[in-house]
Every structure is written in structure tokens, then in C-alpha cells.
């Protein structure tokens, strides 16, 4: 059953883009190892209707049985598989569940229903300053972040110079991160993530804060990683970036997969939909 | 199925390896952060307890020092504070650790236990520095009759592990509560002050009335402090009962802490 699904997706891809550089060579590509397997995943946010964060209110409300919860299904029955070396773009409007899906894949949250299995070293870049301690210096944070990704001090010491070089932040290594600009923070995070050569690289929007030359550098580096077999998942609202970096795309709408296929196909349908929405208003 | 299990245990080992690296990084950062931008740097970790002891000995020596003619008062004060310091540091920084590391919790994948444990280990390192300060004071006070006993070695085992279990347990309970109820921080500040005064750190429990001394038995820190002074200052090997008490307190606190933390940790992300 799974094989049929994947074959269909691959056929779609080859058909629509004509010459897909990595995927078109042979059927052996279909046999590539599945790195991310999302099976029938749903995610529920159970939020208290009002925020209660002190004891007094909690007890009063509890006694009166007035703690109300609001159930909110962010993701509904999501199925997807990503194989080694593939790159996937997640597209959708704000609140469609893109970031939640990334967090689930990264293992930060557990799904309410369904199962997610992943293989290999994963480097999630989910938000600015993730995995950083704002009071620590850039240098300390490189080691901290490396540790979070599963690398010892010794291993990070070997990577240290190339990370600093790539980030172009050599002068700021002894400055606490809290004094960094958002662009600098993104640079540091990205430089670490690509230097550890992950099997899976997950990027949520953060590339947008870098300046043009750095963005270009990032794209080149991501392409290099892709060629060496890194699986890449990205969320972005810039269709141009997505088209240049990804082959496949998934459009999420209200927590469901609206459309999946080649990036060109999905992004054009999505843009069409966006135009309709803005015309309606 | 066997393959699945194997995969799972492999993942657990990777997680453990990761936790060790992160702990290492967090602890060294915590220690350095304490005295960042100070000229004397790490020297403060020893100097701080020394100076504190000096102040206490000067101020309280006149009031309480006379009530204990048989023990050296500065060593008495410093020994008590060294023990209480570990609890104070682990619990006050452990209390806020889940909330303060919000960014790491919501955007990276590391076991939550890493944060409270990192504060415990930082406090243990500090305990080591305070212990050096204690040794210095004891050396200086040799002319006043201070002696070194072999029982001092019992600090490392069995004393320290019991104190660590106890402090971590309390820190886990507080960290869990603080995620839900931010009042705990202020509340615990008051409790801690009270606890400090209810533990004979700078006074001799012999001056208390029999009734209060009986109640003192219900203060776990009283037993920890007494145990430590016995092995360091008096050269007494504590009774089996003392050992059972400190380990009993340690294991009980940690069990409650782990149960509370474990049952709530999946909800942390929703409340922070």
C-alpha cells in the first residue's frame, strides 16, 4: 500500500517537472530509505479558555468547577513520508499547522494521535534563538547548541572554526547572544546546523532575516547538503525560495493536507487560492 | 518486534549521550555565569563563603558562640552553611529552570530532566568550592583546637549523594509547581528564609526548649547539617539511624519529585 502511494507521488513529480535532477534516474530511488514517517497524525491543543496562572484563581475556579477548556485540532490525520535526500516544502496560511507539524517531526511535542518515526541526526532550526542561552556568549552557545544536537565538546571544538567562518561573526564570539541582532542570531543558528551535516535539516522561516548575500550563501550550502543526501524540510512564505530549494511540496489548510505534489504544482494552486481569498475581501 | 526494541534502546542511548553533553555545557556555563565580568572571577566561589562566614562569625559569635564552648564557632557556622547552600542553590535556581529555558523546551529536543539536574550539579561544584573554604578556615583555626578527622572523607560518600537526592527532589517538585503557579516563587522565598532560621546554622540547638528540639526532628535539613558536623567537626561516625534518616529523606523527596515532574512534563509546553 505504501509503495503504491509513493510511486504515484514520484510519477506526479516526474510528469510535472519534466527533468527532476535527482529523482528521475531510476526506480531505485523509490527504494531510498524512509527518514521521516508520519502515520495518521492528529494534534490537539487543549487550551483553558482563560489563562489561570496563580493558585488563588485556580482554587476558586476549581471549586466552582469553572475551568473551561477549548479543544482545538491543529492537525487532522496527516500522512506523509520523506526519504533520504528529498526536500519538502510546507506551504499554507498562518495557523494552518505548519510549525506544529515541524515541531512534531522534530520530536519536541508528541502527537495526540498517530505515530511519527524518524531516523538519523536531526537539526531543527525552528525559531530564532532556539537552543541558545541569551546570557551566554556566542562561543558558549556554539558548544551548547552542538551538545543539544548530540555532539561532544571535542567534536564541536573541531567544527568551531568553520562555524565561525561561515557565520562571519568572528568579532562577536565573546559577546552575549542577547546583544546580537536577529540577523546575527539566525546566522549563528544556521551555521551550526549546517556544519554538523545532519541527515534531516528542518528550517522554519528563519532564513528570511538574513541579508541577501547570506541568504544566497545559505541556499548554496543547503544545495550541497542535499547533494550529499541530507533530507530538507522547510516552511516559508517565499515561493521563489521554495522553488529553488525543494522538489516536493505539501499545502496545509486548516490542519489537513489540501494538496501534495511537485513544488511548482502545489505553489501555483496555493497562489491561485491566495488571490481568490484576497479578492473576496 | 525485537528490532523495534533494539531501535528504541539505541535511541535511548543517543538521548543519554546527548543529555551528558548538554549537562556538561550547562554546568560549566552556570558556574562561569555566576561571576562573569568580575575581576577575581572563579576566586569568588571560594572567597564568597569565606567572607560570609567571617561576617557571621563576627556578628553571631558574640551572641551564640558562647553557648558552645566545646566547638569552634567559625567552623560550626561555615559547615552548616556549606550544607544548606547546596539545597538553597539547587532549589532556587531549579524552581525557575523550566520556565527560564522556555526557548529550549519548545524548540529543541532534549530530555526535560537535564535542566533541574544541571542546577543540582552546578550546586555540587559550588559545594566543592565551599568545602575548600571550610578546609582553609579549619587550617587557620588549628591553634584554637580544631582537629582534622578521617571521618571527613565520609562527605563524598555516603553524605553527599543523600543531600543531592533530597535537593533534586525538592527542586523537581518546585519546578513542576512553578510552571502552573507563578506564586510559588515568592512563596518559596519566604519558606526558604524560615527554613534557614529553623535549622541550627548559626545557633546551637542545645539552647532551644525541649519541645522545639523535638519538633526539630521533623526538619530534614537539621539531620543533614548535624550529620555533616559530626563527620567534619567532631570526628564521629554517625549512627545507622542517622544514615537511614538522611537516605530516607533523600529517596522520599526524589520519588515525590520524579512522580510530580513525570506526570506533568508533557503539559509543560502548554502552560509556559
Mean pLDDT of B160-175: 97
Tell whether B269 lies on the interface with A, counting CB pairs under 8 A.
yes
Q: Which residues of A touch B22 (CB under 8 A)?
A: 144, 147-148
Mean pLDDT of A270-275: 92
Interface of A with B in 202-221 (CB under 8 A): none
Q: Are strands A113-118 and A34-48 parallel, antiparallel or unpaired?
A: antiparallel
Which of A132-136, A209-213, B234-238 holds the top average pLDDT?
Answer: B234-238
CB contact under 8 A, A148 and B29: no
CB contact under 8 A, B103 and A129: yes
- The per-residue pLDDT for A51 is 66
CB contact under 8 A, B29 and A58: no
**Residue A58, min C-alpha distance to chain B (Å):** 9
What backbone phi and psi angles, to 5 degrees, belong to A82? -125, 130
CA dist B126 and B265 (Å) reads: 28
Tell whether B10 lies on the interface with A, counting CB pairs under 8 A.
no
- The per-residue pLDDT for A13 is 40
- The per-residue pLDDT for A17 is 41
Of chain B, the percentage scoring pLDDT greater than 70 comes to: 95
* Pick from A48-57, A211-220, B92-101, B235-244: least confident: A48-57
CA dist A149 and B108 (Å) reads: 9
| pLDDT band per the 50, 70, 90 thresholds, residue B61 | confident
Mean pLDDT of A28-47: 80
Q: Which residues of B touch A127 (CB under 8 A)?
A: 103, 106-107
| pLDDT band per the 50, 70, 90 thresholds, residue B255 | very high
Which chain B residue shows the shortest CA-CA distance from A141?
Answer: B25
**Residue B234, min C-alpha distance to chain A (Å):** 43
CA dist A12 and A248 (Å) reads: 10
Predicted confidence (pLDDT) at residue A7 exceeds the cutoff of 50: no
Predicted confidence (pLDDT) at residue B41 exceeds the cutoff of 80: no
CB contact under 8 A, A124 and B107: yes
Q: Which one of B25, B33, B107 has the shortest CB-CB distance to A147?
A: B25
What does the pLDDT look like over B117-149, one tens digit per residue? 999 999 999 999 999 999 999 999 999 889 999
Predicted confidence (pLDDT) at residue A5 exceeds the cutoff of 60: no
pTM across the whole model: 0.81
- The per-residue pLDDT for B171 is 97
Predicted confidence (pLDDT) at residue B60 exceeds the cutoff of 90: no
Tell whether B237 lies on the interface with A, counting CB pairs under 8 A.
no
Q: Which residues of A touch B271 (CB under 8 A)?
A: 53
Q: Which one of B110, B270, B271 has the shortest CB-CB distance to A148?
A: B110
CB contact under 8 A, B181 and A53: yes
- The per-residue pLDDT for A206 is 66
Predicted confidence (pLDDT) at residue A252 exceeds the cutoff of 60: yes
Q: Which one of A45, A47, A150 has the shortest CB-CB distance to B18?
A: A150
- The per-residue pLDDT for B1 is 40
What does the pLDDT look like over B202-247, one tens digit per residue? 888 888 899 999 999 999 999 999 999 999 999 999 999 999 999 9
Which chain B residue shows the shortest CA-CA distance from A138?
Answer: B29
Q: Are B268 and B98 in contact (CB under 8 A)?
A: yes
Predicted confidence (pLDDT) at residue A208 exceeds the cutoff of 80: no
CB contact under 8 A, A45 and B26: no
Average pLDDT value over all residues in chain A: 82
Predicted confidence (pLDDT) at residue B10 exceeds the cutoff of 90: no
- The per-residue pLDDT for A280 is 80
Average pLDDT value over all residues in chain B: 88
Amino acid at each position: 500500500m505504501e509503495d503504491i502511494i509513493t510511486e504515484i507521488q514520484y510519477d506526479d513529480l516526474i510528469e510535472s517537472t519534466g527533468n527532476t535532477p535527482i529523482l528521475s534516474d531510476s526506480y531505485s530511488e523509490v527504494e531510498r530509505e524512509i527518514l521521516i514517517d508520519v502515520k495518521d497524525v492528529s494534534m490537539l491543543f487543549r487550551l483553558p479558555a482563560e489563562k489561570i496562572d496563580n493558585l488563588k484563581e485556580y482554587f476558586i475556579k476549581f471549586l466552582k468547577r469553572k475551568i473551561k477548556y477549548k479543544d482545538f485540532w491543529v492537525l487532522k490525520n496527516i500522512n506523509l513520508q520523506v526519504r533520504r535526500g528529498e526536500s519538502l516544502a510546507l506551504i499554507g496560511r498562518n495557523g494552518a499547522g505548519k510549525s506544529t507539524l515541524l515541531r512534531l517531526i522534530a520530536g519536541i511535542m508528541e502527537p495526540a494521535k498517530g505515530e511519527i518515526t524518524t531516523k538519523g541526526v536531526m537539526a531543527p532550526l525552528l525559531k530564532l534563538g532556539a537552543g541558545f542561552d541569551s546570557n551566554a556568549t556566542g562561543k558558549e552557545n556554539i558548544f551548547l547548541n552542538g551538545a543539544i544536537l548530540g555532539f561532544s565538546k571535542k567534536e564541536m571544538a573541531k567544527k568551531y572554526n568553520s562555524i565561525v567562518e561561515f557565520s562571519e561573526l568572528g568579532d562577536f564570539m565573546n559577546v552575549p547572544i542577547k546583544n546580537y541582532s536577529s540577523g546575527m542570531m539566525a546566522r549563528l543558528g544556521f551555521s551550526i546546523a549546517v556544519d554538523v551535516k545532519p541527515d534531516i535539516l528542518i528550517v522554519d522561516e528563519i532564513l528570511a532575516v538574513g541579508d541577501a548575500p547570506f541568504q544566497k550563501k545559505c541556499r548554496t550550502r543547503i544545495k550541497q547538503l542535499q547533494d550529499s543526501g541530507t533530507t530538507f524540510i522547510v516552511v516559508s512564505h517565499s515561493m521563489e525560495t521554495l522553488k529553488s530549494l525543494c522538489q516536493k511540496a505539501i499545502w496545509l489548510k486548516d490542519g489537513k493536507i489540501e494538496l501534495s505534489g511537485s513544488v511548482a504544482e502545489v505553489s501555483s494552486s496555493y497562489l491561485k487560492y491566495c488571490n481568490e481569498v484576497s479578492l473576496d475581501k | 518486534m525485537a528490532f523495534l526494541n533494539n531501535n528504541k534502546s539505541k535511541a535511548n542511548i543517543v538521548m543519554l549521550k546527548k543529555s551528558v553533553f548538554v549537562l556538561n555545557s550547562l554546568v560549566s556555563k552556570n558556574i562561569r555565569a555566576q561571576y562573569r565580568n568580575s575581576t577575581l572571577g572563579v576566586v569568588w566561589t571560594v572567597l564568597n563563603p569565606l567572607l560570609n562566614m567571617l561576617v557571621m562569625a563576627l556578628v553571631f559569635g558574640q551572641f551564640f558562640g558562647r553557648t558552645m564552648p566545646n566547638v569552634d564557632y567559625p567552623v560550626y557556622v561555615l559547615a552548616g552553611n556549606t550544607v544548606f547552600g547546596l539545597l538553597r542553590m539547587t532549589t532556587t535556581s531549579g524552581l525557575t529552570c523550566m520556565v527560564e529555558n522556555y526557548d529550549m523546551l519548545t524548540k529543541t529536543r532534549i530530555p526535560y530532566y537535564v535542566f533541574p539536574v544541571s542546577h543540582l550539579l552546578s550546586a555540587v561544584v559550588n559545594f566543592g568550592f565551599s568545602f575548600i573554604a571550610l578546609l582553609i578556615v579549619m587550617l587557620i583555626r588549628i591553634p584554637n583546637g580544631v582537629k582534622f578527622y578521617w571521618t571527613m572523607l565520609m562527605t563524598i560518600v555516603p553524605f553527599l549523594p543523600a543531600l543531592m537526592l533530597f535537593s533534586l527532589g525538592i527542586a523537581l517538585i518546585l519546578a513542576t509547581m512553578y510552571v502552573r503557579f507563578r506564586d510559588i516563587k515568592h512563596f518559596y522565598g519566604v519558606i526558604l528564609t524560615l527554613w534557614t532560621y529553623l535549622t541550627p546554622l548559626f545557633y546551637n540547638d542545645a539552647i532551644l526548649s525541649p519541645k522545639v528540639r523535638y519538633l526539630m526532628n521533623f526538619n530534614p535539613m537539621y539531620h543533614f547539617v548535624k550529620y555533616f558536623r559530626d563527620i567534619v567537626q567532631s570526628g564521629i561516625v554517625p549512627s545507622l539511624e542517622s544514615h537511614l534518616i538522611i537516605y530516607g529523606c533523600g529517596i522520599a523527596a526524589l520519588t515525590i519529585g520524579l512522580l510530580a515532574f513525570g506526570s506533568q512534563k508533557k503539559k509543560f509546553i502548554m502552560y509556559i
